[in-house]
A and B are shown apart, each in its own frame.
Chain A
């Protein structure tokens, strides 16, 4: 059976300190929850197309810690960690998130899964302490995009050699 994409992620900025990410999945929410909270599965999707997840640690209990490390193309390593604050299985996870390259900018993430009709709507509300932190968070995506572009440029350059 062909894998069908349920659409693209939608990112909005509800306030100056927030980022809201929304996506629908053609799967029941207990499976989305499983894929979200099982280290072996997180390793398969969390890197996007930007590298390889080398570490995915999940201590899924209130006060427990998570940590993901990804090695991007070219050996550049990025790491994130946080602590679980609230866990409602298959419905909701509230956790902190710190990009280890910017340890002072801690965000509070609320993951919500709803399943009105067999399909799951996933939302992540990222709450930063300041607009600067929020903006830096979005800029990091921009840098990743730039990196993609540079990688492509490198491939093209190599092919011309």
Chain B
């Protein structure tokens, strides 16, 4: 908890609140009681979100891969123009 407060630069009550919500939805697991609590990210809980966004992300990746090809041509054209002058 202290580590998170330091890393995030947030006040301790805010961090507690976020962690409580994350724990309630199963996105983090908690171990230990009292002063020292250890939180661990639970990747399984995040997987449905990842899967949901992945297909959308893939269509943008395909688009950008094609854009790379266009950009490479534009770069070569520009270099060619430069040497002609």
Contacts and interface: CB of A to CB of B under 8 A. Distances in A.
Interface of A: 1, 3-6, 8-11, 13, 19, 21, 23, 25-27, 31-32, 34-35, 41, 44-50, 137-138, 140-142, 144-146
Interface residue SS majority, chain B: helix
B63 interface: yes
Contacts of A142: 52, 55-56
Contacts of B70: 35, 41, 44-45
Contacts of A19: 56
B6 interface: no
9 contacts: A8-B64, A23-B64, A31-B71, A35-B67, A44-B66, A44-B70, A45-B69, A140-B56, A141-B59
B37 to A, nearest CB: 28
A25 B53 CA distance: 22
B78 A138 contact: no
B57 A8 contact: yes
A27 B53 contact: no
A144 B55 contact: yes
A27 B69 CA distance: 11
B72 A11 contact: no
Interface of B: 49, 52-53, 55-72, 74-76, 78
Nearest to B72: A3
A57 to B, nearest CB: 18
A93 to B, nearest CB: 15
A146 B70 CA distance: 27
Contacts of B65: 5
The 5 tightest CB contacts between A and B, nearest first, are A141-B56, A145-B55, A48-B62, A45-B66, A9-B60
